[in-house]
Amino acid sequence: MEGEGNEMNKTWEEGTPPKGGGTDGSGNEEKADTGSPIDRKALEQIASLKPKGSADILHQVISIYFSSSTDLLKKMKEALPTGDARVLHRAAHSLKSSSANLGALALSGLCAELEAMCRMERMEGAPALVAAIEDEYARVRPALEWELKSRAGI
């Protein structure tokens, strides 16, 4: 773990997005260091919506995502001890959609798995899946932060 932080900082200094392994949303392992956990095409599509002379829409969308995703992850963790499938389902559904919109497809896929699990009220695997969602989010957030910094010229 200690080396990962150094590798991520080195990657940022070199001007390339953070890389890492993970799942593809279906439970299949990706090859380690295959690239960013973000599909940049999705970000480009959002950025292209910006009218000339207006505020950076991508920055606004990512900022809202950071705020809402933090709340959704908190709701998921709080719902686990009681096995509240309804709360988990709603939080997973919301995080799935917003993550997909920003190109975080593996994270979106994990949320889809949790959403389906909750729909069937089969909660026995929920804690492990929420942990996987948190792990993937820990890859997504720095990649989106890097995107913001690189677009701001920092």
pLDDT tens-digit profile of 132-142?
A: 999 999 999 99
Residue with tokens 């942990």: 131
Q: What is the pLDDT of residue 36?
A: 86
Residue with tokens 């260091």: 33
Residue with tokens 């809402």: 68
CATH of domain 57-154: 1.20.120.160
Which of the two residues, 132 and 9, has the higher pLDDT score? 132
- Per-residue pLDDT reduced to its tens digit, 70-99: 999 999 999 999 999 999 999 999 999 999
Give strand pairing partners of 23. Answer: 29
Domain boundaries of the chain, sorted by first residue? 57-154
Report the amino acid identity of residue 83. G
For the segment 13-38, the average pLDDT, to the nearest whole number, is: 49
> Is residue 136 classed exposed, middle or buried when 0-12, 13-18 and 19+ CB atoms within 10 A define those classes?
buried
Instruction: Tell whether the torsion through CA atoms of 32, 136, 46 and 100 is positive or negative.
Output: positive
